[in-house]
Structure 1
Amino acid sequence: MESLTKNQTVLVTGGTGFVGIYCILQLLQQGYTVKTTVRSLNRKQEVISLLQSAGMTSLEQLSFVEADLGADDHWNDAVEGCMYVLHVASPFPAGEPEDADELIIPARDGALRVLKAARNAGVKRVVLTSSFAAIGYSKDTKDHVFTELDWTDPEIASGAYIKSKTIAEMAAWDYMKNEGGDMELTVINPVAIFGPVMGQDHSTSVGFIKSLLEGHIKQTPGFTFGVVDVRDVAAIHLLAMTHPEAAGERFLATASDVVSIYDIAQFIKKERPAAALNIAELEPLDPSAYTAMSNEKAKRILGWKPRSKEAAILASVDSLVI
């Protein structure tokens, strides 16, 4: 396997991010040569240390390029010689910005910047990390099972992040249709990403777990969400990168079933009582608020086998309380 992959170079954008670092790790484990972008080379050692802590002893096949999604500089260098690009980097704020364009413009223009550079460099396929945000926020959820056929309408969706992910993904598909040439695009739409935390940069979803454990969440938010383990998100990116049938497709990345914050709180109390001492007493969510979504396409086409939502949640808890 490694002899086949060693001569194939993959660019991972956003190497310090929660998903990005796991993509790099799995690519190196499979023998690929990897380039990654960081906004500042000052963070290069941080990435190296995280990979070493995860068991990577040889990092000869990893190199770094300083590039920012908000500027054209160095993107041509980043994609040069790459067969594949995993465009994982995207802004995800802890809070809502005053102006939605603060998120929308960098997400959209960053994706187009990467696609254009990749096309010009002769990249075979780009795998773009989108979000369930681009799927599930415009339709009446009652009795509906969300799949890759669903799209959020950015005109009626609320929230800058939801709009930014939807507009960025739509812009990417439009670019491919009009200017993509022979290059292929596959899109991954993950739900809330949990799993073991490696460094300072973890997902906003893991931040929910942290807030829950610290007792900061006092009420059950009025929504449910899908859960997926970060290791499975990286794995589906790698499967989508090379699978012949993945070109031109989007894949909803979720474990089975959805949860509420109340469900997670009760589960942690049961499975990790020592970690749950500060969790506030929460009210259960009305059953009518529960949504439904399907991961059937990713399992059928890619052979993807995600961990359970319970395993992903516990992995987050265990890595936060160590």
Structure 2
Amino acid sequence: MAGELILVTGGTGLIGIKTIHTALKAGYSVRAAVRSQEKAKAVLATPTVMAINPGSKLTFVIVPDILADNAYDEAVKGVKYIIHIASPVIKGEGFTPAQYESELIAPAIKGTTSILSAAHKTPSIQRIVITSSIVAIIPWEEFIAKEVDTVFDDTYEIPFPAGPYTNPFEAYAASKVRALLATKEFLWEKKPQWDIIHIMPSFVVGDNEIITDATLICDSTVSAAFAQVLGRDSRWGAVPSTSVHPADIARLHVAALDPEIEGNQSFLAVSGGERGTRWEEAIGIVNRNFPEAVRKGILPNNGTAKTKRTKVDSSRTEKVFGFKFLGYEEQVKSVVEQYLGLLGEPVA
């Protein structure tokens, strides 16, 4: 309900900043957990936050190390809801095999269990919404390598992925599985007074107000769609046919606080139905919507991308929450519009 206090972790990421905006627009008060004061300033400087002018409805708590014992104990005091988004992601060249456990898996598990432990000591909390991932419930090989006829939905479960892991993306997937299993174990052992909802996005493609440097526009899963628009070839090979706009993920996180939605369940966030996303279609989307930028060479729009078919059914999410996910066209357009804006070029 309007005015109630939410703790949001990971608020300076692609999903997190949209979630802060969405929660404020819905009338909630937000306490954002950030790693530094500089991160707090970045949130306050986003155009959407400035337009909302939240004043005391947006505050910050500094949590410099989510792996520290009792990291969130102070941050959770007095809040009614928690939206836990913070988790390690792969950037640039990723990590070496020796770093998989320390840089990807341990932070994902410890960050989640730390939030749960802090919440268990806090009687005011009623619900926790956690950002998980589609890879937490789809077997790695079937998601990234094999094309199977299975239609995956949010009832699917997979066992503990013990490793060793062949690449950083597989280790990232393992971190999501293990964090999900750790959460279920916590609920079974502690039986807290609050419940949990997991939101499970696919590849996130959309604008990110935290980014103010156009050269960083592909520093995330946005690259799967946008690298080809910049004239590059995909460095990931064939990418699973699953994408979602960050605005939709944010909308799910905030809407999931509604007590009318039953707790202790998971919701997939994937657009496009079973057909899903065809990554190479970004070329046509850009040609149709931004012909002048293509003509001028601002958007070379001549790179390549490949799609690996992965069938996912997230229709139950759309039914429960009462809206349709934005399609790939809207996802690509939002990135292009941001990119052109950062360059000072006209969007039309």
The answer to whether the aligner puts 1:57 opposite 2:73 as a matched pair is: no
- Aligned runs of 1:131-210 on 2, under 5 Å? 131-138=133-140, 139=142, 141-153=147-159, 154-155=161-162, 159-200=170-211, 204-210=220-226
- 2:239 corresponds to which residue? 223
- 2:105 corresponds to which residue? 104
Kept in 1, the 8 Å contact 2:15–2:85? The answer is yes
Q: Note the aligned Cα RMSD (angstroms).
A: 2.4
In 2, the alpha carbon distance for the partners of 1:283 and 1:31 equals: 40
Quote the offset at 1:59 in angstroms: 2.4
In 1, the alpha carbon distance for the partners of 2:317 and 2:305 equals: 34
Moved more, 264-273 or 308-317: 264-273
Moved more, 206-215 or 84-93: 206-215
- 1:268 corresponds to which residue? 286
| SS of structure 2 residue aligned to 1:292 | coil
Quote the offset at 1:267 in angstroms: 3.0
TM (normalized to structure 2)? 0.83
Moved more, 189-198 or 131-140: 131-140
Quote the offset at 1:70 in angstroms: 1.6
Residue 275 to residue 70, structure 1, CA distance change in 2 (3 Å):
farther
Kept in 1, the 8 Å contact 2:279–2:305? The answer is no
| SS of structure 1 residue aligned to 2:56 | coil
Kept in 1, the 8 Å contact 2:81–2:128? The answer is yes
- 1:9 corresponds to which residue? 5
Q: Unpaired runs of 5+ in structure 2?
A: 342-348
| SS of structure 1 residue aligned to 2:196 | strand
In 1, the alpha carbon distance for the partners of 2:175 and 2:106 equals: 8
Moved more, 52-61 or 187-196: 52-61
The one-character-per-residue Cα deviations of 1:77-133 (angstroms, maximum 9, x if unpaired) are: 111111100001111011331121020000001000011101211211100000111
Residue 205 to residue 76, structure 1, CA distance change in 2 (3 Å):
same
- 2:301 corresponds to which residue? 279
| SS of structure 1 residue aligned to 2:199 | strand
The one-character-per-residue Cα deviations of 1:24-52 (angstroms, maximum 9, x if unpaired) are: 11111111111010011222111111155
In 2, the alpha carbon distance for the partners of 1:53 and 1:181 equals: 34
In 2, the alpha carbon distance for the partners of 1:54 and 1:227 equals: 29
Aligned length: 315
In 1, the alpha carbon distance for the partners of 2:340 and 2:224 equals: 14
Kept in 2, the 8 Å contact 1:254–1:306? The answer is yes
- 1:246 corresponds to which residue? 262
Name the % identity: 25
- Aligned runs of 1:104-123 on 2, under 5 Å? 104-122=105-123, 123=125
- 2:87 corresponds to which residue? 90
Kept in 1, the 8 Å contact 2:238–2:305? The answer is no
The answer to whether the aligner puts 1:25 opposite 2:36 as a matched pair is: no
Moved more, 232-241 or 252-261: 252-261
In 2, the alpha carbon distance for the partners of 1:51 and 1:73 equals: 33
In 2, the alpha carbon distance for the partners of 1:62 and 1:128 equals: 20
Kept in 2, the 8 Å contact 1:85–1:127? The answer is yes
Moved more, 71-80 or 183-192: 71-80
| SS of structure 2 residue aligned to 1:145 | coil
| Alignment equivalent of 1:259, drawn from 269, 274, 277 | 277
In 2, the alpha carbon distance for the partners of 1:225 and 1:278 equals: 23
Quote the offset at 1:14 in angstroms: 1.4
- 1:212 corresponds to which residue? 228
The one-character-per-residue Cα deviations of 1:146-189 (angstroms, maximum 9, x if unpaired) are: 11122344246752111111111111111111124222011000
Kept in 2, the 8 Å contact 1:191–1:225? The answer is no
Residue 132 to residue 274, structure 1, CA distance change in 2 (3 Å):
farther
Kept in 2, the 8 Å contact 1:246–1:301? The answer is no
TM (normalized to structure 1)? 0.89
Kept in 1, the 8 Å contact 2:8–2:83? The answer is yes
Quote the offset at 1:291 in angstroms: 1.7
| SS of structure 1 residue aligned to 2:12 | coil
